[in-house]
């Protein structure tokens, strides 16, 4: 087998400017994140200052217009941040992309001009950490089933309910909350509220002890009759479900891109290992079963990259459909099951978290759940047939 670079499918979408930005992102991760990541995994979160450091070098809100403090780049700059975090297995900062690519676009696309100018610059600098709260103990992929309610009162709303598995939940200064403003209307009665976490009635639960992604702060959030001013309604009343569905194409594509990179780097690590590791007097790579298994996974890796980059191209042209994004996410996230096979070739070392392959095995796993589970993806695809 030849050099590791041969494992990677050639890509043509990125310009020289994109690659300069990629180098900046990779350098920041290498210098500011990787050396400390193991310690942060023990602590369950990254330092708050890291958000400001990331903002200072342009890692936050790279695709938001400059007039609102963002980087002003195209979507490929956002892709680069997602990919480089995945490449370095820096899962403690996957919340950067939740903040930049899930939360900020809601404000940009649906928020008022006053909301954009008040909050996006602070989010770009890292002075404001944003989070998004959809999932509840009894409502995951089924957004219509949420029970958190926002009752209209003089001057705004009273918010009551609970959210769980919330990325950036511990550090968040602001949370975009999906709540029922008209419980009798089902999906047509959901609105978005931009909640200040310093408000009376807001509290956080414990940092959740996850199987993987241990440095990414994930928490439960509680709202006890919390007052949300009328001007913190994002978009129109009762349009939240539609807004959420519109954002899922972007979110699912980014998850697919993350998975494609994760599979590529796991294959690279394994190729290196089987060339260097000996058993019964010869390198592991001389074993035909191992070579053939790696060949299968390389073919799968290239197929994943081809599909995901095709969907990326469609997205850049404004043509990516909901079922197209679902197919990309379904295929790419399910393809990461092969990391289990790759881990096998490391023997006992593969079960040690000091080896990247072990952390990849646990940290990549949630991609088949969040952003819509694989089962939901199949339903979206089937309905479009």
By annotation, the residues acting in catalysis are 251
Comparing CA positions, the residue from 8, 57, 5, 7 lying closest to residue 31 is 57
* Tokens 């610059």 found at: 121
Residue 150, number of CB atoms within 10 A of its CB:
29
Comparing CA positions, the residue from 111, 89, 104, 102 lying closest to residue 37 is 89
Residue 193, C-beta contacts closer than 8 angstroms, at least 6 positions apart: 150, 157, 159, 176, 177, 179, 228, 232, 233, 234
SS3 call for 362: helix
Q: Give the Å distances, CA to CA, from 315 to 8, 79, 249.
A: 22, 12, 9
Cα–Cα distance for residue pair 238/176, rounded to 1 Å: 14
Q: Give the Å distances, CA to CA, from 236 to 108, 157, 241, 248, 323.
A: 14, 14, 11, 19, 26
Cα–Cα distance for residue pair 267/41, rounded to 1 Å: 24
Tokens of 105: 């676009």
* Tokens 């990919």 found at: 83
Cα–Cα distance for residue pair 257/307, rounded to 1 Å: 10
Cα–Cα distance for residue pair 290/229, rounded to 1 Å: 61
Cα–Cα distance for residue pair 13/84, rounded to 1 Å: 16
Tokens of 251: 């979110």
Alpha helices in the chain (DSSP H): 16-28, 37-43, 48-56, 75-87, 95-97, 104-110, 113-125, 240-276, 288-316, 322-335, 338-344, 356-363, 374-383
């Amino acid at each position: 087998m030849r050099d590791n670079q041969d494992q990677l499918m050639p890509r043509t979408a990125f310009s020289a400017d994109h690659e300069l930005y990629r180098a900046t992102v990779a350098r920041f991760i290498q210098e500011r994140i990787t050396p400390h990541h193991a310690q942060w995994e023990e602590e369950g979160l990254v330092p708050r200052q890291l958000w400001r450091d990331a903002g200072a070098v342009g890692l936050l809100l790279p695709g938001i217009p400059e007039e609102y403090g963002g980087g002003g780049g195209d979507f490929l700059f956002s892709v680069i941040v997602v990919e480089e975090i995945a490449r370095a297995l820096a899962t403690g900062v996957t919340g950067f992309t939740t903040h930049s690519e899930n939360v900020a676009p809601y404000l940009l696309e649906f928020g008022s001009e006053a909301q954009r100018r008040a909050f996006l610059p602070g989010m770009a600098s890292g002075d404001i950490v944003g989070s998004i709260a959809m999932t509840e103990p009894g409502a995951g992929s089924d957004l219509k089933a949420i029970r958190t309610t926002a009752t209209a009162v003089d001057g705004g709303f009273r918010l009551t309910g609970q959210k769980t598995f919330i990325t950036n939940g511990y550090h968040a200064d602001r949370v975009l909350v999906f709540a029922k403003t008209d419980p009798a209307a089902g999906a047509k009665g959901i609105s978005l509220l931009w909640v200040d976490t310093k408000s009376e009635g807001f509290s956080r639960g414990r940092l959740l002890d996850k199987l993987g992604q241990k440095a990414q702060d994930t928490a439960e959030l509680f709202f006890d009759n919390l007052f949300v001013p009328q001007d913190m309604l994002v978009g129109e009343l009762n349009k939240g479900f539609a807004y959420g569905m519109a954002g899922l194409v972007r979110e699912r594509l980014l998850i697919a891109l993350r998975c494609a990179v994760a599979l590529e780097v796991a294959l690279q690590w394994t190729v290196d290992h089987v060339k260097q590791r000996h058993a019964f007097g010869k390198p592991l790579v001389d074993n035909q079963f191992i070579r053939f298994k790696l060949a299968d996974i390389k073919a799968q890796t290239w197929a994943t990259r081809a599909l995901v980059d095709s969907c990326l191209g469609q997205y850049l042209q404004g043509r990516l459909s909901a079922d197209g994004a679902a197919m990309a996410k379904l295929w790419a996230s399910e393809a990461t099951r092969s990391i289990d096979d790759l881990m096998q070739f490391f023997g006992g070392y593969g079960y040690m978290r000091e080896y990247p392959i072990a952390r990849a095995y646990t940290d990549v796993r949630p991609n088949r759940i969040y952003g819509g589970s694989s089962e939901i993806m199949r339903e979206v695809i089937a309905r479009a047939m």
